[in-house]
A and B are shown apart, each in its own frame.
Chain A
Amino acid sequence: SSELTQDPAVSVALGQTVTITCRGDTLRSNYASWFQQKPGQAPLLVMYSRNDRPSGIPHRFSGSTSGNTASLTITGAQAGDEADYYCNSRDRSGTHYVFGTGTKLTVL
Chain B
Amino acid sequence: QVHLQESGPGLVRPSETLSLTCTVSGDSITTSHWNWIRQPPGKGLEWIGYIHDSGRINYNPSLKSRLTMSLDTSKNHLSLRLTSVTAADTAVYYCARDPGDLPGDYLRLDFWGQGTLVTVSS
Contacts and interface: CB of A to CB of B under 8 A. Distances in A.
Physical interaction between A and B: yes
Interface string A80-108: 00000010111001011111111000000
Interface string B85-110: 00000000010100000001111111
Nearest to A87: B106
A2 B44 contact: yes
Contact of B105 (A90, A95, A99): A90
Interface string A52-85: 0010000000000000000000000000000000
Nearest to A29: B105
Interface stretch (B23-31, B74-82, B111-119): B111-119
Interface residues of B, number: 22
A33 B45 contact: no
Nearest to A43: B112
A15 B112 CA distance: 29
Interface residues of A, number: 27
Contact of B44 (A45, A90, A93, A102): A102
Contacts of A20: none
Nearest to A90: B105
A98 B105 contact: no
A6 B94 CA distance: 22
Nearest to B114: A42
Contact of B106 (A37, A43, A88): A88
Contact of B108 (A30, A48, A90, A95): A48
Interface of B: 37, 44-47, 58-61, 94, 96, 104-110, 112-115
